[in-house]
Amino acid sequence: MSSHFGHQFRISTFGESHGGGVGVIVDGCPPRIPLSVEEIQLELDRRRPGQSRLTTPRQEADRAEILSGVFEGQTLGTSIGILVRNSDARPQAYEDMKDTFRPSHADYTYEAKYGVRNWQGGGRASARETIGRVAAGAIARKVLATAGMGAITGWVSSVRDIHADVDPVAVDRAAVEAGPTRCPDPQAAEKMIEAIDAARRDGDSLGGVVTCVAHGVPPGLGEPVFDKLDADLAKAMLSLPACKGFEIGSGFAGTLLSGLAHNDAFYAEGDRVRTRTNRSGGVQGGISNGEALVLRAAFKPTATIRQAQETVNRDLESRQLEAQGRHDPCVLPRAVPMVEAMVALVICDHWLRQKSITD
């Protein structure tokens, strides 16, 4: 099983949803980067369950422990090990489902691949695996900040058919964190809360889109032909649990424009080359052009719902499943720090790869 991501800045995640804990090993982090466990915890607190009635009621503090690679507040340049112990695991809640395949989950596909699976909350397929990614993303952010790059800001831009009306480049974290939806448009956020609450009461779930903007990315990041910056961002997003779609810049909407209307015209600004528009989303030819990276990730409705669904068990017998357990009626609010983390990991990896050929 591949649990690794990245080249120069490389992470390996481990652990299962209802096991002893989850975590990450980070390799390739430069030495002498100021880093505290509190900075990692800040990001994990944004991802943790039990934040509001819009998320799973599972109560996990998700306290990070740095096991290696940091000494006296600085990275050593060696492998950084981070562990988060599970404290509110309830594997018995899944006992009735151990021989039954939950619709749209990884139960059947994991068993088809390995012949065995951890049926306690989905094991490695659980979104709890993303704790390691978010912790590693916090480290990547510090590396990028040391290099002088700007903020990476994600937010919930839509839930179902409710869309935020904001200027993507102007959104800041304070506006995102102002409410439980992580939508910076207050009017849209209220409608999202109503829709998610209604789905939760009905035992159902909703999906939507997270938009993310990375500021201050220098031109030149990206490795043609197969490791293009946008290709690696796409892989990063689609590796997240429940993510089913990726767009950068104009995305699919760009197909509605002509070439003349879609092209980003260049102009000179001091000693920089700029574009008057940013339909490319900050990437041209797979390489960053110095404009803001603008991407969107689409997340499906949470697969586990309380309503009865048709399925089969291991013996291919038909069953009706009304899932138990504690799950998000909408994954979007907690997906925001996950998306930001994966963007930080990709940019950090490509920045280090670029340094290796220019220094």
Beta strands in the chain (DSSP E): 4-5, 10-15, 21-27, 64-68, 70-71, 74-75, 80-85, 152-159, 162-163, 208-214, 243-248, 266-269, 272-275, 283-284, 287-288, 293-299, 309-312, 318-321
Q: What letter does residue 147 receive in the DSSP assignment? A: T
CA–chain centroid gap for 174, Å, is: 19
Q: How many CB atoms lie within 10 A of CB 132?
A: 25
Per-residue confidence in pLDDT tens, the chain, 359 aa = 589 999 999 999 999 888 889 999 999 999 999 999 999 999 999 998 766 667 666 567 899 999 999 999 999 999 999 999 988 656 565 676 788 898 888 889 989 999 988 877 777 888 899 999 999 999 999 999 999 999 999 999 999 999 999 999 999 999 999 999 999 999 999 999 999 999 999 999 999 999 999 999 999 999 999 999 999 999 999 999 999 999 999 999 999 999 999 999 999 999 999 999 999 999 999 999 999 999 999 999 998 888 888 999 998 999 888 776 567 899 999 999 999 999 999 999 999 999 999 87
The phi and psi torsions of 294 (rounded to 5 degrees) equal -130, 115
Can you say whether the dihedral through the CA atoms of 93, 106, 116, 234 is positive or negative? negative
Residues 6 or more apart whose CB falls under 8 angstroms from that of 133 comprise: 5, 11, 13, 24, 338, 341, 342, 345
151 CB burial (10 A radius; 0-12, 13-18, 19+): middle
For the chain, list the domains and their CATH numbers: 4-358 (3.60.150.10)
pTM of the model: 0.94
